Structure formats: C-alpha cells, structure tokens
Chains A and B, each alone.
Chain A
C-alpha cells in the first residue's frame, strides 16, 4: 500500500479546440439575428478593451465527441507509458446538459475504463477547474490506491446567446489532463477557492447583484491571489507568471496596475484568438505559456480562474 502524500502534479495534458474560428463581428451579427443585442460600441469595446478577435465555435461535434478528441491523444500517451487512470473527474462550467447521459462512453469503452470511479462536479462556473484540483488533492491525500486521475472538461455554447457574457466571449473547447501523485512536471502546491453565493442567478440576476459583482470583482481577485501567496510565504517577485482565465484582457491589465505589476506578469497571449474557453482556459494557457517559453523549469507560477461570483487560485511549480 502506498503512503498518501500531499504532492500531486499535472503530468500531461491535451486540449481540443474546434478548427472553426468566428470573428467578434460575425458573432455579434448572429446574436442580433436571433433577436439579441450586440451594438457597434460593444463590438469596439470587446475588440479594443477586452482584446477579443475570434473564438472557436464547434458546429459538428457533440460534447461527448469533443471530449473524445481531447482525451484520445492524452490517454494514448498514458497507455504507452503504462500510467494508471484510477479515477476520472469531470468538470464543466454549464449545468445545461443531459445529466443521465454518459459523456465519456466512447473513451471508457476504447480504453477499458468503464469501471473507474467517476465524479462530475461543478457550480463554481469557470472557476470549477480549481474546485476539481482541490477534489483531486483530497482524493490523493485520502485514497492510497489513487495514483492517477484523469481530469476532463468540455463546454460549448449551444445557442449564440450563450456565447456572450456582459464582458466576455466564450469559445467552445474540451480538455483533458492527467494528475499524478508525486512531484512530476507541474507540481501543484496550494489551492484556494472562494465563492460569493449572492450571485446564484448569474447573468440573469438582479441588476443590483450584477453591479455588486462588478464592484467587488477586482478586490476578490486580489484577495485570492494574496491569500495564496501568503500561505506559501511568497511575494509576487517569487512567481514567474500568473496564468488566468481568458475572461478578458482588461481584467488582467487593471489588476496588474492595482498590484503594481508589469502587464506581462499576466499571461494574456491567447485571448485574441481563443476567447474565454470556460474551464479549459487554464490548461490551454499553460500549454501555450510553456510553448512560448514564458515558463522555465523550476519556475513557480499561479493559475487564477474566474467565474461570476467564484474564484480559484493555485500555486504550481514547473
């Protein structure tokens, strides 16, 4: 029996982004065509202030098929390395789906994983990814027979209205990552989650609730980041990069100013071409940041996710 340990790492990951990219103008036209609102001024704001240009849109594959596309390359690599998948965690931003349908059917049958314990968690909006990391950490801590966890996520906007938030644009995406006990590629050291349940109605909530969310937004982000650093006895200078949700560019620009950090302390390079990829942002950006050379071996970095009323932050080491 292996001894439980606090350490776990993101060992490998795979992201499926639909090849079709749609411009902000085109999305705005689709929303207006369906009776929604997306004014010229808003298009300007989304492009100039928020730095969105295009978002990926899935028109062919269902969510299970998107998950298959994300999982296949990763699980093949794990198989070749004889790395075990002992549990499966799924996390999504949206609650809108067929909850009695097994979304991972094809993956489970292809790789003989049907009997694996499965947990599908959510209701932290796009910060659910950090909730999943915390669940994974707890499972590693308490179950000595769990050595490897497959964490998957997939979301798509099934109607043009669902693609636009007041200050963000959502792109369809599926992702999979392999979490492994011990100190491997991207060690995960600390995880924090914060929820303000006032915003339970999300964007359908009362105007005053939405205003309050906007008022408290930057402070809540600042607090979760500071809390994570404080618990690790670290300062901003000790972390190479903050990898955040692609909620919009302005969020990170303003936060950098308030925290007296250089703007490039936040990784925002993918916002223009990918938009906000729900719970898959963090993994997509992590992959991109490593490919860009923005992270080097040994670097400490933070991942920060944002939902409407929910926030997640984790400290990692490459």
Chain B
C-alpha cells in the first residue's frame, strides 16, 4: 500500500502513542538527538522495532539515523523510501 510522507509520519506518531509517548508537540523538525527528546534507550529500541513491524521493513541503523541532524522528518523520509522500494 503506497503512503505519502504525511501518512507515514502519522503512522509513526501512532506507534509512538501506542508506546505512551506524548506526540502533541512532535513535528517533522523535532530532533531525535535533542537533549530533551523524552525517550530513553530501551524505549527507543522498542519504538524502532515496532516501526519495523508496522511497516514490515528493516531499519538500517546508519542510513535511518545517521543524518547530520536526525529528525522525525528524516526518519519519515527514510521509511517512505523503504516503502517505495518495496512497491517497485
């Protein structure tokens, strides 16, 4: 099923919500590496594993998270790219 950027982002937020992360203030620009990003390493791993299961993809760590400034937007773009490759 083809999804656009916004749809992918909304699904990411759904996964965050399911893990009791407050998504009210989350936007594309939010930095994953910001000191005040409210996620510890255990929850971070849970979220990413849930995203893998949700989208049926495998996240390549350096590609998914290795951007100069990793944001929810860059993660969204990465997942969108994986999905696009799957449908080709």
Contacts and interface: CB of A to CB of B under 8 A. Distances in A.
Chains A and B bind each other = yes
Contacts of A207: 35
B61 A194 contact: yes
B61 A220 contact: yes
A9 to B, nearest CB: 29
Contact of A214 (B34, B41, B58, B59): B41
B66 interface: yes
Contacts of A216: 41, 44, 61, 65
A292 B64 CA distance: 40
A62 interface: no
A217 to B, nearest CB: 5
Interface of A: 194-198, 207-209, 211-212, 214-220, 222-224, 226-227, 230, 254, 258
Nearest to A223: B61
Contacts of A226: 58
Interface of B: 32-35, 37, 39-42, 44-46, 48-49, 58-62, 65-66, 70
Nearest to B33: A212
Contacts of A230: 58
B61 A254 contact: no
B41 A215 contact: yes
A107 B83 CA distance: 55
Contacts of B70: 212
B47 to A, nearest CB: 9
B62 A195 contact: yes
12 contacts: A194-B62, A196-B65, A197-B66, A211-B35, A215-B33, A215-B37, A215-B39, A216-B44, A216-B61, A217-B41, A218-B44, A219-B44
Nearest to B39: A215
Contacts of B39: 215
